[in-house]
Structure 1
Amino acid sequence: MQIRDLPYTDPGDPDVRSGPRFLLWLGRNQLSGQFNSLLWGLIGQLGVAALPLGVGMAVQATVDGSGTRLMYAAGLLMLLGAVIALGETMLHRSTITNWITAAARVHQLLARRTVELGSLLTRRVAAGEVVAVSTGDVEKIGWFVEAVSRFLAAAVALIAVCVGLVIYEPTLGSVVAIGIPLIALAVLPLLPVATRRADIQRDKAGIATELASDTVAGLRVLRGIGGEELFLDRYRRASQEMRRASVHSASMWSLISAIQVLLPGALMLTVVVYGAHLALDGRVTVGELVTVYSAVLLAAHPMRTFEEIAMAYSYSKPSAKRAARVLALRRDTAGSGAAHTAAPTGDLYDPVTGMLAPAGRLTAVVCGDPDAAGLLAERLGGHPADSGRPSVLLGGAPLDELPLTAARTAVLVQDKEPVLLSGTLRELLDVPASGEVSASDALEAAQCGDVLQALARASADQDADPMETRITERGRSLSGGQRQRLALARSLVTDPGVLVLDEPTSAVDSHTESRIAAGVKRLREGRTTVVLSSSPLLLELADRVVLMDGETVAAVGTHRELLRSEGRYRAVVTRESGDESGPRTADGGLAKPVESA
């Protein structure tokens, strides 16, 4: 895979049983790229390893006064320089390719899982962890994947250096052959400590990221209640804890780096002292001493890759673990979905609660508990909170068994707090849709006239088209009611077979709410619509009203029928006390008691 071939047609099915298994799976999917990097790495590293031979030949030729051998040595050094330049250049290209393609594969896997889970992702995994996985963790995983081939090339080069020196000069070569493995393995006892400290530092960073995300998302609310300083203090404390953990982790890696500098220096000093003694005794020539010394000097570079691979693995292992935890999440399904290839039609029925929404009609659902309403909305969208319960049925077909595309075509759920993505209004409304509802009709039904005016005023161009005006991230430049209405317009444009709206008018005034209710009723005529609300203005226009008592349907009827017959319904809808549950008149008022004669 080359960078120009990205994105992957299919990023594959990852092994998410553990972080190391996920890293191994990534490596197996890049075998050709890893082999390519290993090949170029060997060319460059072996070229570097052969340099001491040319240097030693040149020194010895100079000592012996041989111009011919000096020219041969110069030619060898020039050839090795060209080989090293070629190897290092191509190694850099291939390792960066491995890094980018591995990161792209993880990004695609995360994007696929995010699309599959939708809003359930942040209910199962903290938002800060999702941000950490999709940013820093992907980079660390790519770092380890690309470092593997360079480490293998360096290890092979060091083995070749040790073997070559033992053959070239057995006395000094044996010293080097013993010293290099000891240096490479000297930091192993410190790696578990460094890894633990790095894990703590990343955990602290995840907490700080989550606090920052929550603080920014709720800044307007926090300012309204005067709580921004409280959250900022929490973030400051989390940030300081992360800083202390980072310093604690860095101190161990600094010690490992110091050892990787100190021990090769000690080996080099040993070779110089012992080699000089041998040279004075006439047991080695000056050229041989220079060759061995140069080999030890140049071996320090590939030995640093041992530290790098240890650091890369210690950082990427928890990152891969977090990524695997996110990728292991699945949309709960009770079957394979093979029996249903298209979006079904018909009544929407929840076997758990007994709630029925007849096809083609507007059904309102009244829940005394807002949290229970949210859970019901999730179930109606095919995402049950408890996977052991039976799925919601649409036309007799379980939503959990539908392919994801068919399920999303069939049912659309608008959350109580929908999110607006940044971009122009035209881009916001450019969503997969049936094509039966235009953007202008949806905006009109959702009463977005004042929103269009506000967007036009916000544009620098006086004659600007409000549809081309940019909306800031999450629509923070708009009021809560404006965001809610734009989200409703987006849902109406989609025109799904079943539309579930959870409190779609909670942030608007009663006059606007009345017009929105009429607009939704008109635009969704003949389509199945479920509205979870306790607003009388919406309930009045519903074809059918369902009163929920916990997870059970308590009563079914029209708004006026339930006002007359159900005290619990009146208590929720009119916010009355429980003792005002006597008989009602046709318009929902208390009936006047009849006096006895």
Structure 2
Amino acid sequence: MQIQDLPYPDPGVPDARSGPRFLVWLGRNQLGGQAKALAWGLLHFMSVSGLPFCVGFAVQAVVDRSGARLGMAGGLMALCGVGIALGDSMLHRAAVTNWITAAARVQQLLARRTALLGSALTRRVAAGEIVAVSTGDVEKIGWFVEAVSRFTAAAVTIVFVCVALVVYQPALGVVVAVGVPILALAVLPLLPRATRRADFQREKAGHATELASDTVAGLRVLRGIGGEELFLDRYRRASQEVRHAAVRSARMWALISAIQVLLPGLLLIVVVWHGVNLARDGRITVGELVTVYSAVMLLTYPLRHFEEIAMAYSFSRPSAKRAARVLSLERATDGEGSREAVVPAGDLYDPATGLLAPAGRLTAVVCGDPDTAGVLAERLGGHAADSSELPSALVGGVPLDELPLDSARSAVLVQDKDPVLLSGTLRELLDVPASGDVSPEEALTAAQCGDVLDALAQGSLDAADPMDARITERGRSLSGGQRQRLALARSLITDPEVLVLDEPTSAVDSHTEARIADGVRSLRQGRTTVVFTSSPLLLDHADRVVLVHEGEVAAVGVHRELLHSEPRYRAVVTRETDDEAAAHELGHLPELEEIEETA
């Protein structure tokens, strides 16, 4: 795989059982690139290691006054120089290719998993953690994959040089062969502590990223309550914790680097001292002493790759662990599906609560707990994270977890209470997979977006048509009610068999809410629609109202009947307190019709 061939047609199925297994899986999928980088790395390191022998050969040729051997040594040195330059250039090219392709594979896997899980992902993994995994962690994983080939080439070169020195000059070669493994393994006792500090730093950095992401997302609210300084102080403290953790981690890696400099220096002193004594005794020549000295000095270059691979693995292991955690998350329904790829039609039924939404009708669901409503809405769409414990929702008697992913999403569309608007023009926002039966104009009218179009047209200097006006990231330039209405229009255009809306009008005024209720009822005529709400205006337009209390259906009827007959329903819809309920039972409060009109 080359960079120009990206993205991958299929990034594969990762081994996400653990971080190390995921790294091994990445390596196996890049054997060709790793082999290419290893070959160029061997050429580079072997050429570097050949220079000491050429230098020693040249020195001995000068001592022996041999011009032919001196010329031969010069030619060999030139050949080593070419090998060094060519090998280094191509090694860098191959290694960077491995880095980028590995990072691209991980990013594709994360994007595919994000699309598969949908809104269930952010309930199981913090948004800041997802951002950290898809940015910084991807780079660290790519760094380790890229460093493996260089480390392997360096290790093979060191073994080759040690064996060559033992054969070339046993008296000094044995000292080098014994000392080099000690140099390579000397830092191993420090690696666990360095890894723990790197993990701690990454944890603090992830927390700071999550805090910054949440602060930016809620900036409008923070300004409204004057909480900018409070959250800024929190981020300052989190940032300082990251700095302290980074300094502690850097100190440990500085100690490892110092040892990697100190020990080769000590080995060089031992070799020189022993070699000088051997040369005085006439047991080795000056050229042999220079060769061994130069070889030991240049061995510090490939030895540094032992430190790099240790650092790369220490930083990439927790990153791979986090990436594997995200990639191991499963969708509530089966992505492949055990049934044919057809979109079922019929009643929507949730066995866990007993909720039934008849086909072709508008059903309103009232829950006292908003969090329960959100979880139930997601489960109706087949996105809930707890499907292993609760049965799947059914459409027309077909379990959603037995449908292929595309069919399940075509059957049921869930719009949560905080829908996201992607940046781009309004035309691009509404360009979604749709049945074609609902036009953008009809959807915008039903969602009462007339004033939103006017605001977009006035705020855009270069767009004559409001559909060409640009919407900023997450619709931050719009009010909460405007975002809700545009998101509702987008859902209406899709025109799914079943549409589930979670508090679609919580941020709009009552007059607009009444018109939206009429528009949705009219546009969704003959389609199954489920609305989670406690608004009397929406409830009064529903064909059927279901009260869910403590995870079960507690009452079914129409809005006005339930107001009279069900105290728990009345308490949620009218915000009635216990004292008011008792007073109502005694007849000390106005009639329900009055309360309802006021609501």
Which TM class, normalised by the smaller chain length? over 0.9
The letter of the residue matching 2:514 is S
The letter of the residue matching 1:491 is S
State the alpha-carbon separation in 1 of the partners of residues 550 and 216 from structure 2: 34
Kept in 1, the 8 Å contact 2:334–2:404? The answer is: no
Aligned residue in 2 for 1:594: none
The letter of the residue matching 2:239 is S
Aligned residue in 2 for 1:79: 79
Q: Secondary structure at the match of 2:282?
A: coil
Whether 2:132 is the aligned partner of 1:129: answer no
Kept in 2, the 8 Å contact 1:564–1:585? The answer is: no
State the alpha-carbon separation in 2 of the partners of residues 306 and 574 from structure 1: 69
Q: Per-residue deviation at 1:111? A: 0.9
The letter of the residue matching 2:53 is L
Q: Which moved more, 1:211-220 or 1:305-314?
A: 211-220
Q: Per-residue deviation at 1:335? A: 10
Q: Per-residue deviation at 1:35? A: 1.4
Aligned residue in 1 for 2:539: 539
Q: Per-residue deviation at 1:452? A: 1.6
Relative to structure 1, the CA distance from residue 335 to residue 109 in structure 2 (aligned partners, 3 Å threshold; closer, same or farther) is: closer
Kept in 1, the 8 Å contact 2:339–2:404? The answer is: no
Aligned residue in 2 for 1:430: 431
The letter of the residue matching 1:396 is G
Kept in 2, the 8 Å contact 1:484–1:507? The answer is: yes
Relative to structure 1, the CA distance from residue 581 to residue 588 in structure 2 (aligned partners, 3 Å threshold; closer, same or farther) is: farther
Q: Per-residue deviation at 1:256? A: 0.5
The letter of the residue matching 1:578 is A
TM-score, structure 2 normalization: 0.94
The letter of the residue matching 1:103 is A
Q: Secondary structure at the match of 1:284?
A: coil
Task: Indicate which of 578, 583, 591 corresponds to 2:581.
Answer: 578
Q: Structure 2 matches for 1:250-399, cutoff 5 A? A: 250-333=250-333, 337-384=337-384, 386-387=386-387, 388-399=389-400
Q: Which moved more, 1:67-76 or 1:378-387?
A: 378-387
Q: Which moved more, 1:466-475 or 1:411-420?
A: 466-475
Q: Which moved more, 1:407-416 or 1:264-273?
A: 264-273
Whether 2:445 is the aligned partner of 1:444: answer yes
Whether 2:415 is the aligned partner of 1:414: answer yes
Q: Which moved more, 1:69-78 or 1:115-124?
A: 69-78
Kept in 2, the 8 Å contact 1:349–1:393? The answer is: yes
State the alpha-carbon separation in 1 of the partners of residues 336 and 156 from structure 2: 48
Unaligned 5+ segments in structure 2 are: none
Q: Secondary structure at the match of 1:588?
A: helix
Relative to structure 1, the CA distance from residue 143 to residue 335 in structure 2 (aligned partners, 3 Å threshold; closer, same or farther) is: closer
Relative to structure 1, the CA distance from residue 90 to residue 385 in structure 2 (aligned partners, 3 Å threshold; closer, same or farther) is: closer
Q: Structure 2 matches for 1:434-473, cutoff 5 A? A: 434-461=435-462, 464-473=464-473
What is the alpha-carbon root mean square deviation over aligned residues?
Answer: 2.1
Q: Identical aligned pairs, as a percentage?
A: 74
Kept in 1, the 8 Å contact 2:332–2:386? The answer is: no
TM-score, structure 1 normalization: 0.94
Deviations 1:189-218 (A, max 9, x none): 111111111111111111111111111111
Q: Secondary structure at the match of 2:215?
A: helix
Q: Secondary structure at the match of 2:413?
A: strand
The letter of the residue matching 1:106 is V
Aligned residue in 2 for 1:3: 3
State the alpha-carbon separation in 1 of the partners of residues 385 and 593 from structure 2: 36
Whether 2:103 is the aligned partner of 1:70: answer no
The letter of the residue matching 2:481 is G
State the alpha-carbon separation in 1 of the partners of residues 39 and 223 from structure 2: 59
The letter of the residue matching 1:127 is A
State the alpha-carbon separation in 1 of the partners of residues 404 and 334 from structure 2: 12
Q: Per-residue deviation at 1:64? A: 2.7
Q: Which moved more, 1:304-313 or 1:277-286?
A: 277-286
Aligned residues: 590
Kept in 2, the 8 Å contact 1:425–1:467? The answer is: yes
Deviations 1:283-331 (A, max 9, x none): 2222222211111121111000000011111111111111111111101
State the alpha-carbon separation in 1 of the partners of residues 570 and 359 from structure 2: 27
Deviations 1:519-546 (A, max 9, x none): 1112211111111112222122222222
Aligned residue in 2 for 1:595: none
State the alpha-carbon separation in 2 of the partners of residues 542 and 291 from structure 1: 91
Kept in 2, the 8 Å contact 1:384–1:391? The answer is: no
State the alpha-carbon separation in 2 of the partners of residues 340 and 399 from structure 1: 12
Kept in 1, the 8 Å contact 2:116–2:335? The answer is: no
Relative to structure 1, the CA distance from residue 237 to residue 25 in structure 2 (aligned partners, 3 Å threshold; closer, same or farther) is: same
Unaligned 5+ segments in structure 1 are: 592-597
Q: Which moved more, 1:466-475 or 1:311-320?
A: 466-475
The letter of the residue matching 1:428 is L
Aligned residue in 1 for 2:204: 204
State the alpha-carbon separation in 1 of the partners of residues 143 and 22 from structure 2: 14
Whether 2:530 is the aligned partner of 1:519: answer no
Kept in 2, the 8 Å contact 1:567–1:581? The answer is: no
Kept in 1, the 8 Å contact 2:334–2:405? The answer is: no
Aligned residue in 1 for 2:404: 403
Aligned residue in 2 for 1:14: 14
Q: Per-residue deviation at 1:369? A: 2.5
Q: Per-residue deviation at 1:332? A: 2.6
Kept in 2, the 8 Å contact 1:568–1:578? The answer is: no
Whether 2:125 is the aligned partner of 1:99: answer no
Kept in 2, the 8 Å contact 1:340–1:401? The answer is: no
